[in-house]
Structure 1
Amino acid sequence: MSASGEQCFSGGVDGTIQSWNTPSPSIDPYDSYEPSVLRGALSGHTDSVWGVVYSAAHHRLLSCSADGTVRLWNAANTALTPPSPSELGAPTSVDLVSSDPAYMVASFSSGHMALFNMETQQLVLKLESAGAPDAPCKINKVLSHPALPVSITAQEDRHIRFFDNNTGKLIHSMVAHLDSVTCLAVDPNGLYLMSGSHDCSIRLWNMESRTCIQEFTAHRKKFEESIHDVAFHPTKCYIGSAGADALAKVFV
C-alpha cells in the first residue's frame, strides 16, 4: 500500500506485479467493475512473486520471486540477483531496513538471511542461521523493526527470532506458536509485534518484554494451512488477517 493509501500493489503466481488504484470507501460493492482501478502491470519476474514491499520515502517497490531474484522498481528498474545462488537459494521474503533506507533484508529458501545495499546491489552482511549449519530452518517471513536495527523472522520450526543488523548475531529466540509461524507485523510505533500461524491463532507480543499479551483464533484450517498474513492499520486501532479459508478479516 502506498503512503497516501491511493494505490496498492499485489504479486501473483504469474510473475507479474499489479498496480491498483484504491476504490473510494463509499463505493457500492455491488457496482459494476471499473477498469480504471487497475493501473497496470510490472513485468520482469519469470516465476511466482512471493513478496512485495513499498517504500514511501523513496517511492520504490521491492519484490522477491521464486525465479531467484529480488527486484527494485521505479528507481533504476534493475534486478538485484543474490550472490552465490547455490548457497542462498531463492528469496522467500524481503523488507526494507527502516533504520537504514539504503539497505534491504532478504530471507532465502536455504534458511539463510542477508542484508543488501540497494544502491550498489552488494551483499553487506549475512545474518546467523537457525538450526544445523548444513540445514538451517526455513524462514517464512522477515521483517525490519521500524525504529531499531533489528530484523525479525517467522520460521517453520514455530519460532520467532530477533537479529542484530549491525553484527548479524541472534539476539533472542522464542517458541511462539504450536505450528509454523507464517507471518509477522509490527505496529507503526514499534511497541507491539503480531504473529500468525498455521495453528489458526494470531498472537500479540510486547516488543520490549517479548511476552504474549493477547491470543485469539482467527481462521479455520484448509489443506493443513491457516493464517497467511497479518497487518496493523497505520493510524487506527485495527488489525487485519488473511487465511487459507479464503477470508480476509478486520479486528478492532
Structure 2
Amino acid sequence: MSEYIHYGCLNIYITDISNNQDALRRTWKPKFTLRSHFERDPGLAFHPVEPVLVTASEDHTLKMWNLQKTAPTKKSASLDVEPIYTFRAHQGAVLSVHQRLLSCSGDGTVRLWDASNTKPALATFHNKEFGVPSSVDLVCSDPAYMVTSFTSGQIGLFNMETQQLVLNLESTAETGTPCQINRVLSHPTLPITITAEEDRHIKFFDNNTGKLIHSMVAHLDAVTSLAVDPNGLYLMSGSHDCSIRLWNLETKTCIQEFTAHRKKNDESIHDVAFHPSKAYIASAGADALAKVFV
C-alpha cells in the first residue's frame, strides 16, 4: 500500500490595515508562497514586530518564515519563501502556536520555546487531569499566565512559572455539558478569554471570575479559529463552513464575510491571525493552503 504524503503550502495576500478600518473590505491578491511542511498546517502566528510567521503542522514541527527573504517562482508572479528555522520536539501533531512560541500538541504537552534559536523547549507543561490540550494563548492582560483549552472541553488559566491551575473557566455554564473547543484566545487589552467551539458558537469569559459573559452562534459549521486585531476592536473567525467572518467586538455583529478555503474531508479553515504591528492577516486551511493577507 502506498503512503500518501501531503505537501503543505502557504499563500500570502497583502493589503494595509494599520490605520484604515475600511481596508479589510477588499479583494485580496496573493503575494508569497511558503512551502515546507509535509502535512496540513492547523496553526500559525506572527512575530509581534518583525515580518516573520511561525506555522504549526501535523508533521510534528514548527517552522519560522522570514517574509522578506523571497525568490521569484518560475510558474507564477508570486514569491517563494523558505523557512529559516524548524523547531522539533513534539511527538504528536502540533495543534496551536502563539507569537512567543508557546505551542500545544496532541502528545498532551504545552511547550514554551525560545524563538531566537532551535534548542529544546524552555519549558514543558503537562496536565493529566484535563487531558490533551487543543489550544493555548498567553493572557495579554497578565503575561505571567497562559490560557489553555483541552479536548475534554475544559478551559484553564495557568501560572507560567509554577505551572499550576489558577482558574477554571465555566465552559459548561450554558449547556451543562462540555463542548469541543477548537481555539482559545486572550483579548489583547481586556481580561477576557474568547473561545471557538465545535457547536458553531463563539463564547466570551471573564478572566477574573471565570464566568461566561456572552455566547453567540457565529457560523453555519464548527468555529475553528479566532483572532483579534491589535487594537482590540475586531474579531476574525474561521469555520469549516469555508468562511472567514469579521466581527465588531463592541456590538458582537458580523460586518464582513468572505470564502477563503475549500473543504477537504469535511474540514476547511484551521486558523486565522492578525499581525500585532504590521499589515498582515493570515488563514490556514485543510486544502493545504495558508493564506496571509498583509
1:1-252 aligned within 5 A: 1-5=46-50, 7-18=52-63, 20-24=64-68, 27-30=71-74, 37-55=82-100, 61-74=101-114, 77-82=122-127, 85=128, 87-130=129-172, 132-133=175-176, 135-235=177-277, 239-250=281-292
How many residue pairs match? The answer is 238
Gaps of 5+ in 1: 56-60
* Matched-pair contact (CA < 8 Å) for 2:90–2:107: yes
1:58 is matched with: none
2:13 is matched with: none
Distance apart, 1:212 and its partner CA: 1.3
Read off the aligned partner of 2:139 and give its amino acid letter: V
Judging changes above 3 Å, is the alpha-carbon distance between structure 1 residues 79 and 149 closer, same or farther for their aligned structure 2 residues?
same
Quote the Cα distance in structure 1 between the aligned partners of 2:280 and 2:55: 21
| 1:208-235 CA distance string (max 9 Å, x none) | 1111112222322222112222222444
Read off the aligned partner of 1:29 and give its amino acid letter: T
Gaps of 5+ in 2: 1-45, 76-80, 116-120
* Matched-pair contact (CA < 8 Å) for 2:48–2:277: no
Q: TM-score, normalized by length of structure 2? A: 0.73
Segment of structure 1 superposing worse, 240-249 or 161-170: 240-249
Distance apart, 1:138 and its partner CA: 0.3
Distance apart, 1:237 and its partner CA: 5.6
How many percent identity over aligned positions?
Answer: 64
CA RMSD of aligned residues (A): 2.5
Read off the aligned partner of 1:119 and give its amino acid letter: E
* Matched-pair contact (CA < 8 Å) for 2:269–2:284: yes
Distance apart, 1:110 and its partner CA: 0.3
Judging changes above 3 Å, is the alpha-carbon distance between structure 1 residues 151 and 202 closer, same or farther for their aligned structure 2 residues?
same
SS at match of 1:183: strand
Q: TM-score, normalized by length of structure 1? A: 0.84
Judging changes above 3 Å, is the alpha-carbon distance between structure 1 residues 199 and 149 closer, same or farther for their aligned structure 2 residues?
same
Quote the Cα distance in structure 2 between the aligned partners of 1:217 and 1:230: 13
* Matched-pair contact (CA < 8 Å) for 2:235–2:247: yes
